[in-house]
Amino acid sequence: MRTLGVVMNGVTGRMGYRQHLVRSVLAIGAQGGVELSDGTRVQLEPLLVGRSEAKLAELARRHGLTRWTTDLDAALSDDAFLLYFDAQLTAVREKSIVQAIDAGRHIYTEKPVSESVEGALDLARRAAEAGVKNGVVHDKLYLPGLLKLKRLVDSGFFGRILSVRGEFGYWVFEGGWQTAQRPSWNYRAEDGGGITVDMFCHWNYVLENLFGQVRSVIAKTATHIPDRVDEAGARYAATADDAVYAIFELDGGVVAQLNSSWCVRVHRDELVEFQVDGTHGSAVAGLHKCVIQPREATPKPVWNPDLRETQSYRDQWQEVPDNAEFDNGFKAQWEQFVRHVVEDAPHPYDFMAGVRGVQLAQAGLESSRTNQCVELPR
């Protein structure tokens, strides 16, 4: 068995720790590594990097790890660690990735890859010139609900797809009388916060990989909660948007409407749901569940506000079976990218995919600022 060293920068944060270190890299170690096409395996050896020596030491102690440092240059100079992973704050990610590219490391990173389209394009150019492989986390494509939805799309179930409606979000407490579920930097624009920058990078790859590339966007952002309380109990001004409401036009005339909010109380089965309507059928997919209604089983509702509704519309849908075992989505993509690095297996979600996510986020912010529809580059 061969070993691939991974410099993991930003694993003291919530997502970097839970999904990438524990549920992906360490889980891969526990299963005996990543299996390659020839049946051999690659084991991952993490080298933790961060700003807090105390936090890194505690993580290493908790999981029996021996390699950690606060010196990124030193970590990147070790030729035993050919892969660099970044889960830092968006505001500092680009600089660190440039360092890793200059060190000749393959790059796997969270998104957004940069705060600007120009910065994201520069990373793609640098990686191409350096000949390093690069990938961007596209975790939602690996969710059971969306994998079932992709199965439906590929089978032709929908006929001609007409529209997509998506609802994402939940109530994030302000941090006063109850602690917030998200870090305070999410609500400060100067620290790279904002739900548009966060979620439009996700919505871009979901839309383009399932339904078609985004051609234009009309969006309205809002900062519904103007001030919050941070982790130290201090009140601060929320300078970033905490909700965004958008309409996207996709290839083929498909219209997608997606609402994203950290100021909404959940009245859905799951925290994110997508309804897809087509000429031959419809589906509603969440994180795990997916239900369908083909045209042959579509009832004929009649609008009559004078009568109380007696039928349950939810009961008229059929659940899509799993028909497969679904692994943790983050872990599944880690394995895919490792195979890409080691044996050149396909991994289409590269820096240019990350560029398109940043482009959409910037277009959404521009649309809200100008009250105009913004066209995306073709």
pLDDT tens track for 181-192: 999 999 999 998
pLDDT at 309 over 90: no
Give the model's confidence band at 120: pLDDT under 50 very low, under 70 low, under 90 confident, else very high: very high
Amino acid sitting at position 27: A
Taking the C-alpha atoms of residue 289 and residue 145, their distance in angstroms, rounded to an integer, is 5
Q: What are phi and psi of 49, to 5 degrees?
A: -130, 140
Whole-number pLDDT of residue 62: 96
Give the model's confidence band at 1: pLDDT under 50 very low, under 70 low, under 90 confident, else very high: confident
Whole-number pLDDT of residue 371: 98
Taking the C-alpha atoms of residue 293 and residue 277, their distance in angstroms, rounded to an integer, is 9
Per cent of the chain over pLDDT 70 is 100
pLDDT tens by residue, 264-276: 999 999 999 999 9
Half-sphere exposure of 250 (CA within 13 A, CB side): 22
Residues in the chain: 378
pLDDT tens by residue, 228-247: 999 999 999 999 999 999 99
Q: Is the pTM of this model over 0.85?
A: yes
Taking the C-alpha atoms of residue 77 and residue 45, their distance in angstroms, rounded to an integer, is 16
Q: Extract the tokens encoding 6.
A: 């991974």
Ordered by where they begin, the domains of the chain are: 2-139+328-349 (3.40.50.720), 143-324+358-370 (3.30.360.10)
- Mean pLDDT along residues 256-265: 98
pLDDT tens by residue, 76-117: 999 999 999 999 988 899 999 999 999 999 999 999 999 999
Taking the C-alpha atoms of residue 42 and residue 337, their distance in angstroms, rounded to an integer, is 12
Taking the C-alpha atoms of residue 303 and residue 347, their distance in angstroms, rounded to an integer, is 48
pLDDT tens by residue, 161-210: 999 999 999 999 999 999 999 999 999 999 989 999 999 999 999 999 99
90 or 215, higher pLDDT: 215
Give the model's confidence band at 378: pLDDT under 50 very low, under 70 low, under 90 confident, else very high: confident
Whole-number pLDDT of residue 268: 96
pLDDT tens by residue, 25-35: 999 999 999 99
